[in-house]
Structure 1
Amino acid sequence: MDLKLKPFDFSQAVARAGLAPDGTPLAKARPVEKADFQSAMTQALKQVSDSQLESSRLQRELQLDNPSVSLEQTMVAMQKSQIGFQAALSVRSRLVQAYTDVMNMQV
């Protein structure tokens, strides 16, 4: 049995890995953005606000007898906004409790 191996071209493998022939990256990698609590909380509160606005809009459209808005769709939107608001209140209560716990610590 005669086995002949083809010469391996490392330049293709390096190019597939996204590296230059000297081993350096071809493109600078973007720094990973840290997710901070403030932006996460702001985004969550914005989503809750948007959900409440959408619920109010659907309620208004249902009251005006818009045929494209159903009662079921409106009720689901109301429940989603209520659950989101309750979750935001829960997070706020825990934050206030944590703040008071830290403030009451003896140094």
Structure 2
Amino acid sequence: MSTSLNQMINDLRSTAQVAGGKPTAKNEADSGVDFADALKNAIDQVSAAQTEARQMSEGFVSGASEANLHDVMIASQKASLSFQQMVQVRNRLVTAYQDIMNMPV
């Protein structure tokens, strides 16, 4: 889980850099990574983190899971942080789109 979270954070950072117009460490065209695919992958990872946190929480409340409160709270915070970061990326993308649309032709 930690590896996928780190990968998602790195994907979100590179997406934020692209949205902000900053150069990334490697050229996207050279790596063969499509922006839409990277964004969809990041969204899917956020969704998976939220689903895992919800399932752990439901399992803890019902007593069916062996997860303790500590694990449930960590999963919940990971899901919350990943969602907040995704919202910030979305805000940057919207701002970049608005800037492009307001450019004089």
Q: TM-score, normalised by structure 2?
A: 0.69
Give the deviation of 1:41 after TM superposition.
0.4
Residue 106 and residue 67 in structure 1: after superposition, are their counterparts in 2 closer, same or farther (change >3 A)? closer
- The answer for the alignment partner of 1:72 in structure 2 is 70
**Which structure's residues are more often helix, by fraction?**
2
User: Mind listing any 5+ residue stretches in structure 2 that lack a counterpart?
Assistant: 1-29
Aligned-pair RMSD on alpha carbons? 1.3
| 8 Å contact from structure 2 (residues 56, 65) kept in 1 | no
- Could you say which structure has the larger radius of gyration? 1
CA distance in 2, matches of 1:47, 1:69: 21
Give the deviation of 1:85 after TM superposition.
0.2
Q: TM-score, normalised by structure 1?
A: 0.68
Give the deviation of 1:75 after TM superposition.
0.2
Q: Are 1:51 and 2:49 counterparts?
A: yes
- The answer for the alignment partner of 1:25 in structure 2 is none
CA distance in 1, matches of 2:36, 2:93: 12
CA distance in 2, matches of 1:41, 1:67: 32
User: Mind listing any 5+ residue stretches in structure 1 that lack a counterpart?
Assistant: 1-31
Give the deviation of 1:36 after TM superposition.
1.1
Give the deviation of 1:65 after TM superposition.
1.6
CA distance in 2, matches of 1:85, 1:37: 19
Report 1:1-107 matches (<5 A): 34-66=32-64, 68-107=66-105
Aligned residues: 76
